[in-house]
Homo-oligomer: A and B are copies of this chain.
Amino acid sequence: MYLTSINNEKVKFWEKLKQKKYRDMYHLFLIEDEHLIAEALKYKIIKEVITIDENVKYDIDTYYVNDKIMKKISSQVSGAHVIAVASTLKEREIKGNILVLDNLQDPGNLGTIIRSAVAFNFDTLILSDTSVDLYNPKVVRASEGMMFHLNIKRCNIIDFLQNLDSEYLIIGTDVVKGKNIKDLKFNKCALVIGNEGSGISKEVKELCHEMVYIPMNENCESLNASVSASILMYEVNHD
């Protein structure tokens, strides 16, 4: 179908999906890159495709629009070539290792952590309800399509950790003191990474069974949060 007016109701609806409140309301989000759309197609979550290019053909309802409409919908100043409207992800049963993010704010960090979690065979990502939105366009882009492979749940992490099966060792991270993760023995773990500036909140720290830290040069106060998370998941995966 061809759309030419930026006042079309469809266009207005798509534009709303740039805001978290409407993504939450309609359980839909936008995917802005053909490589990511290809990944999402495997999970059958794409509802509609919007493109400026008549040569783009998917076996899904496709809307052909002009540059002006595309720029209105896209999160990128120069617009996108193709955008897909996709259903937000379904939660699955939790089976393996869990990464818990306590108030993580940077969308690039979240996307990077999602890639590493898939790489290092983590089963589930628990995102505190204070963290950056999973469907933020920068997160979707930085995750490089890996968000579709992971079981991701957004919730109150204090409730979540309090009700977690006792077979899980809850491991917190600290920049100055703690054990070396190589010295911990566990069957399954819930690894908690804190906020970029302030680390893990006091309430969450109290729920951790062990604290770990990554040994580093004294000139360095801390690592980037996505790097800390990735190194610890890498170690858990190689145990």
**Which residues of A approach B to under 8 Å, CB–CB?**
108, 112, 115-116, 118-121, 142, 144, 146, 149, 214-217, 219-224, 226-227, 230-231, 234, 238
Contact = CB atoms under 8 A, between A and B. Distances in A.
Nearest to A143: B224
Q: How many copies does the complex hold?
A: 2
A223 B108 contact: no
A238 B221 CA distance: 18
Given A121-B217, A146-B219, 15 more contacts: A108-B108, A112-B226, A115-B220, A115-B222, A116-B224, A116-B227, A118-B219, A119-B216, A119-B217, A119-B223, A120-B216, A214-B234, A223-B230, A226-B227, A231-B234
21 contacts: A112-B224, A112-B227, A115-B223, A115-B227, A116-B223, A116-B227, A118-B220, A119-B217, A142-B224, A144-B221, A144-B222, A146-B219, A146-B220, A149-B220, A214-B234, A215-B238, A223-B230, A224-B230, A226-B226, A227-B230, A230-B231
